[in-house]
């Protein structure tokens, strides 16, 4: 879902989808390369990313 939102350039919806996915299936978000790439893309493209999303990306060492 998040990838589809990124393709539509609906970054807030992508962020929401990633956070929901992390709450319901954290292993899928934290260990799948495509999910990690999507998370990095969303945080990188958003001018002001949600704090929870940034914390998630930082915890996975995707920023920096």
CA distance 39 to 53: 8
Instruction: Identify the DSSP state of 8.
Output: T
Look up the pTM and report it: 0.92
The pLDDT, as a whole number, for residue 4 is: 97
* Environment class of 27 (CB within 10 Å of its CB; exposed 0-12, middle 13-18, buried 19+): exposed
What is the pLDDT tens value at each position of the chain, 64 positions in all?
Answer: 999 999 999 999 999 999 999 999 999 999 999 999 999 999 999 999 889 999 999 999 998 7
Please report the pLDDT score of residue 57 as a whole number.
Answer: 96
pLDDT for 64: 72
Question: What does the pLDDT read at residue 24?
Answer: 97
């Amino acid at each position: 879902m998040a990838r589809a939102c990124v393709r539509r350039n609906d970054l807030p919806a992508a962020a929401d989808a990633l956070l929901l996915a992390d709450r319901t299936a954290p292993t899928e978000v934290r260990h799948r390369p495509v999910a990690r790439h999507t998370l990095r893309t969303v945080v990188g493209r958003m001018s002001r990313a949600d704090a929870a999303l940034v914390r998630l990306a930082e915890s996975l060492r995707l920023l920096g």
